[in-house]
C-alpha cells in the first residue's frame, strides 16, 4: 500500500534569502553519480492552520517515508540511491564520496542536513559511498518521491552546495 503525503514540511531546513530551499543533490550524468546544487521553490506564505503566515514550500508528492538509526562509525559502502528521495539527516554526520571523482560532502545532521538522492541504478552505474564517522548514532529520514518523480528544481551549479548557499 502506498501512502501519499501532501507535504508541508522541512520549511526551515536550508533557506537562502527566504526565496528557495537549496540542497546538495546526488544525481546521475553520463552513467556516473555526480553532485549538484539544486534550488527548490520559491517559498510561499502559508495559509494552512498552524502555519498561517510562515514560509512554506510544497516538496511534491511523496510516498513511504522511513526513519533509520545508523550506528556510530557505520560504513554503508558503495551503493545507489534505492529511490529518488529527500534524505534529512536529523543528527550525526554523513561523509559522502563519489567513486569517479575527488568531490566529497560532509552532511551534518540538523537544519542544514537535507540532501536529495537521485542516483538510482537507472541513471548511475557507479553510485556513491557513504560513511558515518561520528561516535554517535546518525538519525535519518528517507522520504521517497511518488513514482520516482524528481520535483521541479533549478540546478544552481555542478558540485555540492557551499555553506553560504545553505544559510
pLDDT tens digit string along 38-80?
A: 999 999 999 999 999 999 999 999 999 999 999 999 999 999 9
User: DSSP class of residue 123?
Assistant: T
Whether the Cβ atoms of residue 14 and residue 57 lie closer than 8 Å to each other: no
Residue that the C-alpha cell 511523496 belongs to: 62
Predicted local distance difference test score (pLDDT) of residue 15: 42
Predicted local distance difference test score (pLDDT) of residue 4: 42
Separation of alpha carbons 46 and 55, rounded Å: 6
pLDDT of residue 17 exceeding 80 = no
Specify the pLDDT at position 98.
98
Range scoring the smallest mean pLDDT among 4-13, 59-68, 85-94: 4-13
Average pLDDT, the chain: 91
Taken in order 87, 52, 156, 163, the sign of the CA dihedral is negative
Region 12-34: what's the mean pLDDT? 81
CATH of the domain at 72: 2.60.120.10
3-class state of residue 117 by DSSP: strand
3-state secondary structure of 164: helix
Domain residue limits at 38: 4-166
Q: Is the pLDDT of residue 125 over 50?
A: yes
pTM: 0.88
Q: 3-state class of 138 per DSSP?
A: strand
Counted domains in the chain: 1
Amino acid at each position: 500500500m502506498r501512502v501519499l503525503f501532501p507535504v508541508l514540511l522541512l520549511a526551515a531546513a536550508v533557506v537562502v534569502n527566504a526565496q528557495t530551499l537549496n540542497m546538495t543533490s546526488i544525481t546521475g550524468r553520463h552513467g556516473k553519480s555526480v553532485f549538484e546544487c539544486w534550488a527548490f521553490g520559491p517559498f510561499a506564505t502559508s495559509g494552512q492552520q498552524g502555519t498561517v503566515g510562515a514560509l512554506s514550500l510544497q516538496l511534491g508528492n511523496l510516498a513511504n517515508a522511513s526513519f533509520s538509526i545508523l550506528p556510530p562509525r557505520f560504513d554503508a559502502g558503495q551503493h545507489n540511491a534505492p529511490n529518488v528521495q529527500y534524505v534529512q539527516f536529523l543528527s550525526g554526520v554523513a561523509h559522502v564520496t563519489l567513486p569517479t571523482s575527488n568531490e566529497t560532502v560532509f552532511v551534518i545532521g540538523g537544519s542544514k542536513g537535507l540532501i536529495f538522492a537521485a542516483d538510482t541504478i537507472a541513471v548511475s552505474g557507479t553510485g556513491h559511498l557513504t560513511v558515518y564517522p561520528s561516535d554517535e548514532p546518525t538519525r535519518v529520514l528517507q522520504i521517497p518521491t511518488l513514482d520516482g518523480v524528481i520535483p521541479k528544481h533549478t540546478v544552481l551549479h555542478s558540485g555540492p552546495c557551499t555553506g553560504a548557499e545553505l544559510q
